[in-house]
Structure formats: C-alpha cells, structure tokens
Amino acid sequence: MAVYTDVGDDELAQFIDTYGIGPVVSFKGIAEGVENSNYLLKTATGTYILTLYEKRVDAADLPFFLGLMEHLAERGISCPLPLKSTSGQAIGQLAGRPAAIVTFLEGIWHRHPTAVHTKALGAALARFHLAGADFAIPRANALGPAGWRPLFERCAMRANEVAPRLAEEIAGELDFFDRTWPVGLPAGVIHADLFPDNVFFLGDQLSGLIDFYFACNDMLVYDLGICLNSWCFEPDGSYNYTKGRAMLAAYDAVRPLSAEEWQALPLLCRGSALRFLLTRLYDWLNVPPGALVRPKDPLEYRVKLAFHRTIRSARDYGVDFGAGRE
C-alpha cells in the first residue's frame, strides 16, 4: 500500500455519499507498499479501506480483483469485501482514478514471523488455492517470466548503480530461465504477493488475507515459492529451515503437492526471487516525485536468489516428509 494521489475534502465527501455509509469521520493515508494509493477511512458506520488505482494497474483487471475477493469470502476465506455504491457498482471514480472501498480487516501483521506464523500461512495459502479453483474470471500473470526481460530492459542501464555487476547477473538469470522454466504443473488463481504485511493475525491466529492486486492465474507451487522467500529468511539474509519446514508441511497437509511440484520448487523459488529483485529494482530507480512511499531494497532479493542457486532439491529447504523426500 502507498499514497500517490491526494484527495480533496469535497470530492471525498461526494464520493463517500454514493455508498451510503455515512459522513467521513477520519481519513488517513497508508504509506506502506508501492502499487496503489490507499487510505484508512472511518465513517459514521465503520472502518474501511479506500483504494485509488494508479497507472500501473489496468482498470480492466478490477472486476477480476474485486470479484475474486467476493468469491473467496463466499468460500470461507477471510479477506476484505468490496462495497457497492447505491447504484450497485463496486468501482467508482475519485481524483481522476478508478477507486473502490473495501471492508476493514481486524488484525496486525508480524514484522518478525515465527514458525507458528509460517505454519498458519502455509495452511491458509493452500485453502486459498483450493477456494479459487472454480473462480471463472481468468487473468494472466503480467509479472511472470514473459514480463521479466521487458521490465529489466527498462532499468538495465542503471542497474549497476544499485550494485556492481547487478545487470550482468540478472541478464544471466533471465537466460537461465528462458531454458528451464517448468510447464504443465497444477495451476489456478494465485495471490502472487502474499508477504507478511498482507497477512493479518489476532495473536497467533491468522485472521485474514489482504491486497489481491497482483493475483492472477499461474502455477500454484510458484505462489508457495513466493511465500517461502518472503516469510522464511532472516534479516541477515539467512534461510530459516524451521520456518520453511513448517510452511511447506502445513501447505502439503491441506493440498498435497505432487512429486513434480516438489521437484520444481527450487526452480520456482529462484524464479520468484528474480521477479521481486526486478520489480524492486525498477521501483527503486523510479520513485515518482513527491510520492509518500518507501521503496523496498532490491538487494534483499539478490541475496535470496544467490541462496536458491545452491539448492538442488526440495529436501535442501528442510523438507523431510511426503514426496519432498525424493
């Protein structure tokens, strides 16, 4: 989440009035994240999140994102629900941007998750994948391998400003994945951005998932690789085997992975590390002037990428159960 677009008091009041949720009590920008402009909105009837969709979000994708939240909630996944205006629309216009209001989800996210939290996340991710199996609206992964090289080309000339020989390293990884990216694995709707700040807890109990604006159709185990990268490494860059084992076992207990998925896991973890290295690199080099945003360090994912290059099988992540014991 972030804030790129300011909203005036009068236009906000007019917009909120179309939802019939009472007058605004308070309105505050949320500075975390990089994709859209987000505000914590309190009205006479409750607390909500107001999102303005910035230029990097295709307005044609909004029915997918908002429809997915409704679909998941109907199947027992705790997530924000889009509000509809008095005319029955979930998407409106505010400050020259498409905008939507969703319900507020109680809970906090953990900056330093433990194995208890990664276990809960693994099970929740598997339930999410199962719940999304019959979602009818497709959306391709714009940040899958086909999108990596074009994104890199937009920042390759300045990559070595961030770290020496970073451009050459990324180019080598792109060539590697052109030859090795797997196909034919079980696929469906993935979250694609389930970082700790997108998972809420009440105590140690997972209370819900948020921020579905990278969700798309792709290999399910790729989503697991994204989570392993974002949840199971320590601040010094070391991989935490206890956290990783807990996440993988909990996921496998709900949606058992095939032998082929276990075999592909190291490659998909490596690929997801490259994906976030690339998007963070681009954002690091292209922060809009005046934006209330905190760009994330791309080199965190360079360290993770190097770790995954040392992995030969899922067993090297600490897996000691099921098909992962190849």
pLDDT digits (tens, 9 = 90+) for 165-194: 999 999 999 999 999 999 999 999 999 999
- Under 8 Å CB-to-CB from 220, ≥6 apart: which residues? 129, 185, 186, 187, 188, 190, 255, 261
Residue 78 CB coordination number (10 Å): 16
What are the tokens at 238? Answer: 């070391």
The whole-number pLDDT of residue 320 equals 78
Closest C-alpha among 7, 54, 10, 3 to residue 29: 3
Give me Rg for the CA atoms of the chain: 20
Give per-residue pLDDT as tens, 8-28. 889 999 999 999 999 999 999
The whole-number pLDDT of residue 325 equals 47
Which percentage of the chain shows pLDDT scores above 90? Answer: 86
**Angle at alpha carbon of residue 272, lines to 270 and 275, rounded to 5°:** 115
Tell me the pLDDT band of 1, cut-offs 50, 70 and 90. Answer: very low
Closest C-alpha among 266, 254, 259 to residue 322: 259
Please state the domain extents for the chain: 9-103, 115-324
The Cα 101–Cα 124 span in angstroms is 24
Give per-residue pLDDT as tens, 300-310. 999 999 999 99
Tell me the pLDDT band of 2, cut-offs 50, 70 and 90. Answer: low
pLDDT at 34 over 80: no
Mean pLDDT of the chain: 93
DSSP for 295-320, written as a single string: PPPTHHHHHHHHHHTT--SGGGGT--
pLDDT at 323 over 90: no
The Cα 314–Cα 326 span in angstroms is 8
The whole-number pLDDT of residue 67 equals 96
Q: Which residue has the tokens 């990664």?
A: 118
- Under 8 Å CB-to-CB from 55, ≥6 apart: which residues? none
The whole-number pLDDT of residue 9 equals 87
Reduced to 3 states, what is the DSSP secondary structure of residue 103?
strand
The whole-number pLDDT of residue 58 equals 85
Phi and psi (nearest 5°) for 121?
Answer: -65, -45
In the CATH scheme, what is the homologous superfamily, with its name and number, of domain 9-103? Phosphorylase Kinase; domain 1 (3.30.200.20)
Closest C-alpha among 150, 160, 149 to residue 298: 160
Summarize the confidence of residues 46-50 as an average pLDDT: 95
Q: Under CATH, to which class is 115-324 assigned?
A: alpha beta
What are the tokens at 51? Answer: 């999102």
pLDDT at 198 over 80: yes
DSSP for 220-243, written as a single string: HHHHHHHHHHHHSB-TTS-B-HHH
Report if pTM > 0.75.
Answer: yes
The whole-number pLDDT of residue 56 equals 72
SS3 content of the chain, % helix, strand, coil (to 5): 45, 15, 35
